[in-house]
Amino acid sequence: MAPVTEPFEDTVRDLGDVPSIEVISRAAVMLLSASAERLGLADPDPDTSPRRDLDEARRLITALAGLVTASSEYLGPHAAPLKDGLQSVQRAFREASVVPDEPGQGPGEKFTGPVY
């Protein structure tokens, strides 16, 4: 019987071979995408989205803000689009909230400063 080989054997990269900028960027994109999902932005009407969960969105946005803020000096040309995406989900959160947070108290704003 022939040995069983994994179908992804040739495509798996050793984590030690992945540049830090790629690891950080991928993590940030995952947090950004998950935040948008939890805000219901993937659905035609975010207000009626079954995926909307503002508590979960707050946690994800805060984690994204911490990551982007702490690593911005290393992100080079990737920093600006990630910061723009972060501000977009922060604004979307503010718009989705029935009782908006005070400026500076919204998700991630302790890292980014107030977002209006």
- Residues 62-96 pLDDT 10s: 999 999 999 999 999 999 999 999 999 999 999 99
**Residue 12: predicted pLDDT:** 76
Give residue-wise pLDDT tens across range 26-74. Answer: 999 999 999 999 999 999 999 999 999 999 999 999 999 999 999 999 9
CA contacts within 13 A on the Cβ side of 47: 2
HSE, CB side, 13 Å, CA atoms: give it for residue 24.
18
Cβ pair 92, 61 in contact under 8 A: no
Indicate the pTM of the whole model. 0.86
| Contact yes or no for 113/83 (Cβ under 8 A) | no
